[in-house]
Amino acid sequence: MGKTTGFLEFTREAVPYRDATERIKDFDEIFTDPPEKQLQTQGARCMDCGVPFCQSGPGCPIDNLIPEWNDLVYQGHWKEALERLHQTNNFPEFTGRTCPAPCEGACVLGITDPAVTIKNIENAIVDRGFAEGWIQPEPPATRNGKRVAVIGSGPAGLAAAAQLNKVGYTVTVYERADRIGGLLMYGIPNMKLDKDVVERRVNVLRGEGVKFVTCAHVGRREDFPSGHMTQIMEERGCEVQYIDPNDLLKEFDALLLATGATKPFDPTARCPGRELAGVQFAMNFLTRNTKSLLDSELADGAYTSAKDLDVIVIGGGDTGADCIGTSLRHGCRSLVNFELLDQPPAERAPDNPWPQWPHVYRLDYSHLEAKAKFGDDPRAYTVLTKEFVGNGDGQLQSVKTIEIDWSQPTESGPPWTEVAGSEKEWPADLVLLATGFIGPEMVVGEMLGLEMQNPRGNWETFKADHGPFATNVEGVFAAGDCRRGQSLVVWAINEGRGAARAIDEYLTGSSLLPAPGVTQGSALAGA
């Protein structure tokens, strides 16, 4: 694929972000428009691999036909490239913007040279498809008379809805927020995924016949904690309707749970001062910011502003990076990001060989922004939070920490040792906990009588095997983070496509719908 000698002639040239000092002044997307010639050159670097690891194994979870559309872009056949891309990915505009690109980590060229800019090419293909008018609603010619309800409009729910709709099902998607998209709408900030990008795809699905119901909380009314999505919606004036999932099961032929993993993990729960004002979960912070931005360009003030505050983000990963980026755009006074782990090495470690995802030191978009504003990477490694300190009036004023040593595990205790004499107190007006999630909210499962499972550690998710995606309740299926635990957008699409095929087989006895690890690829079977 590509040019036979392209990998020898051309070097990696990624599409740059907007200037860091300028982009923190707004919430517009960080990306710049890629020159077509540059993308063709990068497509030319794609090697004629005997085994394209980018689309299998540790590479792409949805088995994207990467060498094929790289070659088509190199040749200038953009519409054909889009057709190949849509064969495996319902939403390449989402993955092209938000995916960390495990495909690039598994690129064969990456053994000796920087990988092909696969993510840039993917995003350019789909954006061109929309710009040229190639992406239009394609409703099915006929309906089969069967109805499926999908709870949750994140990437898993939308992927399943899109696939089932294609083969004639009448699909209704229920979302508790006031806008469709789930994680894509309120969990990922605008600068990384503009909401117009989400809405243009939702409008395509709507034009194809998928029905959407917003402000619909499937479950029962509860005393929701602060920052809960339904609580935020009601707080902001949405008339939320509460729906019993058992009623949906009676009304529809099948029910798919794609509710995500929204129960936050709080490793600081036992720290003194955890209850202080100024300590909050990352998703509360990000959701309120995005809703206010979409509703009023932040004019309504219905969000937590980091302006002129000393901000500490606890936890790395994408969510932590997004908290950093959002705080910078508010105009924070200072910013530090606590990482529990050691700083990654500059190059692959011996126990992290190709084609595994390279665990190496890198700067995400918001780390670059913080460095541009404050002069350095905001991350402080091997830092353990010990106490939140208040000012006497219930407001946070600082955080006490200690360094840890991973090379010296504690006997019958944590896999680290606290370093004596490394105690430190950091000024802090706002602490954002970006420490991950431990599973879905349980109420829907309890109301339906679903069995649970523990895929990892203290996580608890709805029990449904990869492939069948069926729960212990007849006609009820689960997919995405609520089944496999917190993961990537691309994995959610994988799950949604797989669940669609499973539902189709359940209702008709067979299915022609493609599914990763089932009808294509081999890496994901049994995942």
pLDDT in tens, 15-42: 999 999 999 999 999 999 999 999 999 9
Highest mean predicted confidence (pLDDT) among 224-233, 371-380, 457-466, 513-522: 371-380
Other CB atoms closer than 10 Å to residue 229's CB: what's the count?
A: 24
pLDDT exceeds 90 at position 423:
yes
Question: Chain-wide mean pLDDT for the chain?
Answer: 95
Residue 447: predicted pLDDT: 97
pLDDT exceeds 60 at position 403:
yes
d(Cα 84, Cα 64) in Å, to the nearest integer?
8
pLDDT exceeds 50 at position 1:
yes
Residue 371: predicted pLDDT: 98
Looking at 27-31, 363-367, 513-517, which range is the least confident one?
Answer: 513-517
| Mean pLDDT, residues 442-458 taken together | 90
Domains and their CATH numbers in the chain? 6-131 (1.10.1060.10), 147-263+438-508 (3.50.50.60), 279-433 (3.50.50.60)
pLDDT tens digits, one per residue of 75-116 = 999 999 999 999 999 999 999 999 999 999 999 999 999 999
Residue 525: predicted pLDDT: 37
| Mean pLDDT, residues 345-364 taken together | 94
pLDDT exceeds 60 at position 494:
yes
Other CB atoms closer than 10 Å to residue 30's CB: what's the count?
A: 21
Tokens at 447, concatenated: 């109301």
Other CB atoms closer than 10 Å to residue 179's CB: what's the count?
A: 22
pLDDT tens digits, one per residue of 162-202 = 999 999 999 999 999 999 999 999 999 999 999 999 999 99
pLDDT exceeds 60 at position 44:
yes
Residue (of 15, 4, 16) closest to 39 by Cα position: 15
